[in-house]
A and B are shown apart, each in its own frame.
Chain A
Amino acid sequence: MTRTRIRNGRLIDPSQRRDEVVDVVLVDGRVDGYLGATETGQFDREIDAMGLIVAPGFVDLHTHLREPGFEDKETVATGTHAAVAGGFTTVCAMPNTNPTMDTANDIVFVIEAGRRAGFARVYPLGTVTRGEQGKALSDTSEMAQAGAIAFSDDGRPVYDARLMRYALTNSLKHHKPIVNHCEEPQIADGGVMHEGRISDLLGLKGQPAAAEEVMIARDIELARQTGGRLHLAHISTEGSVKLLRAAKRDGLPVTAEVTPHHLTMTEEWVLGNVDGGGGTSPRPGPYDTRTKVNPPLRREEDRQAMVARWPRGWWTSSPPTTRRTALSTRTAPTTRRRSASLGSRLRSAA
């Protein structure tokens, strides 16, 4: 039996309603209790967490581990390594690999790769449609049995409303959520930032809020129709929050996620008109390519809606997508980041 004491940290654990400076006692890696600073005991190991936050392992609902097919960008091992470095002990892996996660074998491959790497728990998602082509449904029941946690054509929406309807109906059988990428591609139309004052100013093609809200409105009505389990990926606008609150009022089985950057950053960052990270850092200037994310950073009103009006009990979080393409514009040099997950970002920001 190994006893560990984490000293002097600020413990934040919403599940226990705790936010206080207290020592945490672990026995064989599991939380056994709490001690005041002056209380004593016998421990095999003591960790000093002065000035640090102690929290339960975070869960990342939305990662791209890129394996198989895009190992030049990320692998299950590099992605999960970065995850634990940032405090994430469980990650869900999106299925837009090459080949895409269409079968039970694909799902097992990723689970095994995660087990071999030994960093974080890995829960893969399967595709909704074969090859994410939006033409024919994948065998979601088989993948659910193999361990798929949910289904998504992430990176693109299930554009065909009829297929989305049938996918939601199928979720009544396997009880796993259908996770839709909330973007109407014709309205988004290749926009690289939020459409509004700043996109006009910078001459960048905008992506209006309606591109997201139209897709969410459709999916909520399909969930109402079918009773299927719907989860909406990375929502970002005030209008989306309103739609979700209305769906929740109606008792629909709908959940959603928001990314940390949509809770903290706005389109002003694209303009570079922000503090460049505190202290002496210079302002980053306009066209900061690090602010190019999808969905785009929105208005301050949208950010506030995310923070203040998120329905209680729906709080789920998601990391930024880690795509190289998401970190660079066409004009910028592409940065090769093998493990630029939320974890490493949080660490570098700290």
Chain B
Amino acid sequence: MGAREEGFDVAKLMTDLVASLRSEAAPPWEGRRHVLDLDDFSRAEIERVLETSDRMKEILARPIRKVPTLRGRSVLNLFYEASTRTRVSFEVAAKTLGADVINVAASGSSVEKGETLLDTVRTLKALGADMLVVRHKDSGAPYTVAQHVDLPVVNAGDGLHAHPTQALLDAYTMRERFGHVDGLRVLIIGDITHSRVARSNAWGLAKLGAEVTFCGPPNLLPPTGLCGEKSKMPWPVRVELDLDRAIEGVDVVMPLRVQLERQEGNRLASLREYARDYGITRQRVAHAAPHAIVMHPGPMNEGVEIDADVAHGDHSVVQDQVTNGVAVRMAVLYLLFSSAPGTRQPLDRNGLVSANGRNGKEAH
């Protein structure tokens, strides 16, 4: 019985959502075609994602987690690199909004026969994709796709370069906990050189007014962050080599995964060295601010960059990050479908009302 009522509530919610989105004077996502990284986002655009995510989160809290906003649109998940949480998160986000989702992994596809990335994407576009979510092991791959194929592209992680939706969900999680991101002291620890999460967070958090510090072993920090080239780091962040000094009083502690599969040898003497100098232990968290939160983009190597009791302890918001990831990706898909020129728009307010008016079970 409750389910049917909820169905109507969802429709009303979406109506309110669409109305409120349209009521704002200057839509900050006007004309945006792709989400490749946060470096070309304005603060207003990022805040728009965070506000929209609030509403998406309400939808996810309902017993019936489905709205027809993107019904009839298809979202293509093209993953050239292993992924569980990001791929599933995008899939759940798109399906919750009513879109059709096509998942293509590199293994088992014509990629294995040597088809190029661009030819694969052109083929999939011809098969009816409206939006592409792409993950690739090479930095810049989504840019190449965006330049050469007429499809809106969402970057789900490219090589060492960017992971914008992760940075957005991190910002959203901070905002949820603290009420704001402005002025927060955020410490990102570990393998910065190989981290697209660190790069995108550096842009996103800086634009929202947070104070970001990178901390890690010298051989895993960007070369420009070290001696000699200090002034040339491309992001407005500080660098600190000593974790115990860096962690003092910070609001957010974000260890990155030690990317065992990307270690080229010789950068680190051993994981023991890493865990001793840069592992996040309960003792170290005690030196952060009392209200500090501990985040992790996952998957975690417990006992290396983060101790199990911290990962699952009181300060940890790791599970919130995963849950919020769905809401943030819903917001990104919704906003991009609304803004990308030439893309079929989400069902408008009337469409929503009539769809649900004709058939109250539409939302199921």
Query: Is the pair A195, B161 in contact by a Cβ cutoff of 8 Å?
Result: no
Measured in the bound complex, the distance between the Cα atoms of B78 and A204 in whole Å is 21
Closest 4 CB pairs of A and B: A203-B161, A287-B140, A203-B160, A203-B139
Residue of A nearest to B225 (CB): A200
Among residues of B, the one whose C-beta sits closest to the C-beta of A334 is: B116
Q: Does B251 contact A (CB under 8 A)?
A: no
**Which of A19-27, A40-48, A226-234, A324-332 interfaces with chain B?**
A324-332
Specify which of A201, A285, A329 lies most central, judged by the most chain B CB atoms within 10 Å of its CB: A201
Given the interface contacts A203-B161, A203-B162, does A332 sit within 8 Å of B144 by beta carbon?
A: yes
Residues of A within 8 A of B128 (CB): none
Contact B161 A200 (CB under 8 A): no
Provide the residues of chain B in CB contact with A330, threshold 8 Å: 138
- The yes or no answer to B196 lying at the interface (CB within 8 A) is yes
Cβ–Cβ < 8 Å partners of B161 in chain A:
202-204
- Do A287 and B199 touch (CB < 8 A)? no
Interface residues on A, range: 20 to 34
Annotate B89-120 by CB proximity to A: 1 below 8 A, 0 otherwise. 00000000000000000000000000011110
Does B223 contact A195, Cβ atoms closer than 8 Å?
yes
Per the bound structure, the CA–CA distance linking A332 and B116 in Å amounts to: 7
Contact indicator B234/A201 (Cβ below 8 Å): yes
Complex contact B138–A329 (CB within 8 A)? yes
Partner of A203, one of B147, B158, B223, B264: B158
- Name B194-247 residues within 8 Å CB distance of A: 196, 199, 222-225, 229, 232-234
Indicate whether B296 reaches chain A with its CB closer than 8 angstroms.
Answer: no
Interface residues of B in 124-173 (CB under 8 A from A): 136, 138-141, 143-144, 147, 158-162
CB nearest to B138 among chain A residues = A331
Query: In the assembled complex, which residues on chain B have CB atoms less than 8 Å from the CB atom of A203?
Result: 139-140, 158-162, 196, 199
| Interchain nearest-CB distance for B284 vs A (Å) | 27
A287 touches B139 (CB 8 A): yes
CA–CA, A334 and B234, complex, Å: 30
Q: Does A253 interact with chain B (Cβ within 8 Å)?
A: no
Bound-state CA distance A333–B114 (Å) is 10
Whether A289 contacts B144 by the Cβ 8 Å rule is yes
Q: Interface extent on B, as a size class?
A: 20 to 34
Determine if A286 and B140 form an interchain contact, defined as CB atoms under 8 angstroms apart: yes
Q: What would be 27 A-B contacts, judged by CB atoms less than 8 Å apart?
A: A189-B264, A196-B223, A196-B229, A197-B224, A197-B229, A197-B232, A197-B234, A200-B222, A200-B223, A200-B225, A202-B161, A203-B139, A203-B140, A203-B159, A203-B199, A204-B139, A204-B140, A204-B161, A285-B147, A289-B144, A329-B140, A330-B138, A331-B140, A331-B141, A332-B116, A332-B118, A333-B117
Query: Given A197-B229, A203-B158, A287-B139, 17 more contacts at CB 8 Å?
Result: A197-B232, A200-B233, A200-B234, A202-B140, A203-B140, A203-B196, A203-B199, A204-B160, A204-B161, A206-B223, A208-B223, A285-B147, A286-B140, A286-B143, A329-B138, A331-B144, A333-B119
Q: How far is the CB of A260 from chain B (nearest CB, A)?
A: 25
* Cα distance A128–B225 in the bound complex, in angstroms: 40
Q: How far is the CA of A196 from the CA of B161 in the complex (A)?
A: 14
- Residues of B within 8 Å of A289, CB to CB, are 144
Question: Which residue from B116, B196, B223, B233 sits with its C-beta under 8 Å from A333?
Answer: B116
Residues 43-97 (chain A) with a chain B CB within 8 angstroms: none
CA distance A285 to B147 in the complex (A): 8
CB closest chain-B residue, reference A197: B232
B101 to nearest A CB, angstroms?
A: 24
Chain A residues with Cβ below 8 Å from B136 are 331
